Structure 1
Amino acid sequence: MPTVAERLDVDPARLWAGAVLALLAALIGGSILFPRIVYDGFVWHFFWGPVQADANAATCAIREGGTTQYLYADSACRAAAEPVAYPGYTLVSEVGYVVTLLIALSGVGFLLQRLDIGSERDMFFALLPFVFFGGALRVVEDVTDAAAGAVIGYPLNTLIISPIIYFTVFAVTLVALLASVALVRQGVAEHYTRPLFGIGSVVLVVTLLFLLWSAITGPGTLHPQVLVVTLAGATLSAWGTWWLVERFAPVVNAGTGRLGFVVIWGHAVDGVANVVGLDWMVALGAGPNLIPKHPVNSAIVDITASALPPAVLAVTGDTWPFLVVKLVAATAVVWLFDEQIFEDSPRYAIVLMVAILAVGLGPGTRDMLRATIGV
């Protein structure tokens, strides 16, 4: 069946660029013509407002008379008139970010095609350090919030707050990718994946050293037991899931191979980090338990708390179903990537696998490191 681009006899990349520009024009034009409805009630309310509230360490932000105000008390936020934006995510914003991610992935596919790279599975592993880097960079903002004087203040700190941080990490990764390709074309490197992995490792190590320094000198407090328990739990969970797959349903992994295990492990890190952070911080002697920020996490916690008796919850906690959901969902996604997908569209398959890993391992790394250094 012919695609839309084929029916219109238009270059797919040009069609993608035109669609993106049209969408941006609609949002910008609507914000100018109908600022209260389009900008205040939608763009600011669900997307930019939560970032501003988070960047200013406010309980919420309100939009009134074309200006943004920050409130620092729950009672004031509850009494405020809409639109009111709270730090974190909503179902509307998460849907919007998923749509943005899908559009961005299409653009990345066109770029890789233009550069004639990205069909090798080695690129997946070369991008791993950048996934860890994204999660670690988000903790830098947590550290500056906890410090007496913020190292990175508003508005610069919005660059390392979700979801803007995804664009920041994407920009760093894109620069690294283009630099790696340039090194190959100049004869300095044999294959672009090696310098790409090296650049990612450098930015990751620098970020981790800053976080370690922050934990040692303040404001953080180092809790290495959290890191050990999270990584051990994630590895055991992923290995157990993988053993079941290999033993009873090897078709699930027929297309992905090692990539599938890494994806499941990355989502296991997210699941275990939530269990440890929300239920076991006190038991591990690592300070108070954290509070879920994602609607899905909160919903699972609420459902579990209402379904199980208090005596059981006192032993198991109410977050463990989130780990189960992550493992099942990651395995199901891996199943979708059969051999045919990698044969027909290897670039898009690799890019999608990286994105699927990032939406699990990125937040998981952030939660794990945040709990580890106590910020």
Structure 2
Amino acid sequence: MPDPISDFIYTYFLKTMCYQYNVVNTVVYGLILIAAVFGTHKLLEKLKIKIDRKLFYAIIPFILFGGSARALRDHTEINTVFQNVPQLFCSPIIYFVIFAIALGSLLLGIAAQRKFKIEYWKVMCSAGLLILAYNIANFRIANWAAVAMIAGLFAFWIVLFFGFSYFRPKMLSMMNAGILSSHLLDASSTFTALTFFGYQEQHVLPTFLIDLAGGPAAGAWIMFPLKIFVVGGVLLLLDKYGEDEQFKNFLKLIILILGLALGTRDFLTVSMMQV
């Protein structure tokens, strides 16, 4: 007799893991993310880690490592360690793997700070750069046209956001400009991959909106206003109504992670595509 619970888990989670999102697993992963956000914030409070630029600097190498590991895992033409354990380096499991690695590096940094008076974030950042170097050494660009298109689009958004921040810092801080730019890297990569190279969007909401706008080849432009208005709107709301500065900065860190990890993965994936 079929087990309905096992069938449900297989159909909506195990069968689609690494390759496809649906409404059910998207909602569940979202709830897990919310729980993880609050749990991680409590952990940082317990460890007495201030959520500031130094923590951002320490985390960025791990974000880049996660995004590039995901891309290398999918690119079977390049033999890397990620092909040996493929299930550990696909979404959503990769987020837990990178979290564990980053947390271990954070604890190592805290220990070094207490014993040797070296600031924790320098140790953590160095550890992240060390493992990121492995990915960089294995990365091979094959699609220079995609690189040029994405780089041009990304440069445009960087100049726009940071230029606006320079002249209107009260409306857009430099931190917010950087976070927005990370999400526009994702939008630029998605737009280029779908419009010119036949890729398909995996996430539920972007897929729905892209289909409404005309489908992958014609409607991927919708990612730009989607990112600007949704991410920009959330950042504005946090700045306006966020009372706890530390928790507000932590939420911004989460938003950065979501944008930069996906942007890195998408950019490298299409860059390594054989054309």
Match of 2:27 in 1: 95
Match of 2:270 in 1: 371
1:56-75 correspondence runs (5 A): none
Match of 1:21 in 2: none
The number of aligned residues is: 274
Identity %: 25
Q: 1:121 aligned to 2:72?
A: no
Deviations 1:166-197 (A, max 9, x none): 111111111111111111011151x1111222
In the aligned structure 1, how far is the partner of 2:83 from the partner of 2:180? 36
In the aligned structure 1, how far is the partner of 2:30 from the partner of 2:49? 25
In the aligned structure 2, how far is the partner of 1:224 from the partner of 1:172? 32
Say which SS state the counterpart of residue 39 (structure 2) adopts: helix
Say which SS state the counterpart of residue 75 (structure 2) adopts: helix
Contact 2:165–2:177 (Cα < 8 Å) also in 1:
no
In the aligned structure 2, how far is the partner of 1:224 from the partner of 1:369? 11
Q: 1:180 aligned to 2:146?
A: no
Contact 1:46–1:90 (Cα < 8 Å) also in 2:
yes
Quote how far apart the aligned CAs of 1:330 are.
Answer: 1.5
Match of 2:254 in 1: 355
TM-score by length of 2: 0.88
Match of 1:137 in 2: 69
Say which SS state the counterpart of residue 338 (structure 1) adopts: helix
Quote how far apart the aligned CAs of 1:332 are.
Answer: 0.7
Deviations 1:122-166 (A, max 9, x none): 21222111111111010121123x56x896557x31100111111
Match of 1:170 in 2: 99
Contact 1:227–1:372 (Cα < 8 Å) also in 2:
yes
In the aligned structure 1, how far is the partner of 2:171 from the partner of 2:236? 4
Match of 1:274 in 2: 190
1:28-67 correspondence runs (5 A): 36-41=3-8, 43-51=9-17, 54=18
Gaps of 5+ in 1: 1-34, 55-86, 216-221, 282-288, 307-312
Gaps of 5+ in 2: none
1:249-328 correspondence runs (5 A): 251-253=170-172, 257-281=173-197, 289-305=198-214, 317-328=218-229
Structure having the higher helix fraction is 2
Larger Rg: 1
When the two chains are superposed, the root-mean-square deviation of aligned CA atoms in Å is: 2.7
Higher relative contact order (CA 8 A, sep 6+): 2
Say which SS state the counterpart of residue 170 (structure 1) adopts: helix
Say which SS state the counterpart of residue 50 (structure 1) adopts: coil
Deviations 1:75-127 (A, max 9, x none): xxxxxxxxxxxx21112211211111111111111111111113323212221
In the aligned structure 1, how far is the partner of 2:12 from the partner of 2:5? 11
TM-score by length of 1: 0.66
Contact 1:90–1:294 (Cα < 8 Å) also in 2:
yes
> Which of 116-125 and 158-167 deviates more?
116-125
Q: Which amino acid aligns with 1:265?
A: S
